[in-house]
Structure 1
Amino acid sequence: MTAAPASPAKAPPSLYDRIGGADGVRLVVDRFYDLMEHAPEYAELRAMHDADLLPVRVSLTQFLAAWLGGPRDWFVARPGACIMSLHREMPITRETARQWVHAMSRALAENRVEPALGAQMQQSFLRMAHAMMLRGE
C-alpha cells in the first residue's frame, strides 16, 4: 500500500492579503490623510504637505501595497528614488515624526487591522520615522 502524496503546504497569506488587499491599504491611507487634514493634533504634519493631498494619497497607497507584498506599481518621478530619499528635504522633526506615527497607528486601529499586523507595521513605521528625523535633534 502506498501513502497518498502529501499536498503542498499552503503558503501563509501575505501581509498585503492580511490587511485586505488594495481596498484595505486604501482605507488605511485615506483615514491617515483624513486625520492629518482635519485633526488639529496633526497640524504641524499637515503643514509640511502641499494643499492637494491626492498625489501623496496615491503614492503612499502604492508604496504600502508593494511594501506589504502586493503589486509593485509604486511610481516615483525621480528614477532610483526611495522612500527615504524622497523625504530627505523635508524638515522632519521628532514632533512631526511622532504625529505621523500616531496618525498612522490610529488609521490602522480605526480600520480594524488585525492587532498583530498593526503592531508589526507600527514598529516598522517607528523605525522609518526615526531614520527620517533631522540629524542632531
Structure 2
Amino acid sequence: MDGTVIEEKASPYERIGGAEGVRRLVDAFYDTMERNPAYAELRAMHEPDLGPTRDSLTGFLSVWLGGPRKWIEKRGGFCIMSRHAKMNVTGATAGQWMAAMRDALAEVGVEPELAEKMDGALSQLAEAMAWRGKAG
C-alpha cells in the first residue's frame, strides 16, 4: 500500500445531519403543511395530532436515507403504499405533499444535490400513490 487514503462518501443520512437533521426536515415539512393554506387538503388527510405522524416520517426517512433501521425493526416490515392506500391520495394531494417537502428541504438548507435526488425519488413515490388512488 502506498498510504493513499480512500475517502468514503457519506450516506444521505449523514449528509442531511443524521437523526437531528432528519427531524428538522420532518418538523419543517409538517409545520409548513399546517401553516400554508395551499396545503389544506393535504393537512385534512392527517390526524389532528401530528406527533405520531412526525415520528413515523422521521423513522421512515432515516431508514430511507441510509440511517439506523430501528423504525423497520420495530414494525417487522412496512409497505408504504399499503399504509397510504386508505388515504385516497390524489394527484392534487400528492402535488401538495411534494410542494411542502420542497419548501421544507429549502427551509432547512439541505444541500442542493441531495435535495434534488430526494425530490426525484419522493416525486416518483408520490405519483405512484396518486396512481394507486385512482386505480383502487
**TM-score of the aligned structures, taking structure 1 as reference length:** 0.90
Gaps of at least 5 residues in structure 1 are none
Gaps of at least 5 residues in structure 2 are none
Residues 1:78 and 1:65: Cα distance change in structure 2 (over 3 Å): closer
Say whether the 8 Å CA contact 1:97–1:130 is kept in structure 2. Answer: yes
Structure 2 residue corresponding to 1:19, chosen from 16, 21, 29: 16
Q: How far apart are the structure 1 equivalents of 2:40 and 2:127?
A: 19
Larger-Rg structure: 1
1:87 aligns with 2:98: no
Q: How far apart are the structure 2 equivalents of 1:10 and 1:102?
A: 35
Residue 104 of structure 2: aligned partner: 107
Residue 134 of structure 2: aligned partner: 135
AA aligned opposite 1:86 = R
Q: How far apart are the structure 1 equivalents of 2:48 and 2:126?
A: 22
State the 1:34 CA deviation.
0.5
Number of equivalences: 134
Identity within the alignment, %: 52
| Bigger proportion of residues as helix | 2
- Give the aligned CA root-mean-square deviation in angstroms: 1.9
CA deviation map 1:50-79 (0-9, x unaligned):
101000100000100110001111159865
**TM-score of the aligned structures, taking structure 2 as reference length:** 0.90
Q: How far apart are the structure 2 equivalents of 1:79 and 1:110?
A: 33
Q: How far apart are the structure 2 equivalents of 1:73 and 1:80?
A: 11
Residues 1:96 and 1:118: Cα distance change in structure 2 (over 3 Å): same
Deviates more, 1:79-88 or 1:97-106: 79-88
Say whether the 8 Å CA contact 1:59–1:75 is kept in structure 2. Answer: no
Residue 72 of structure 1: aligned partner: 69
AA aligned opposite 1:53 = L
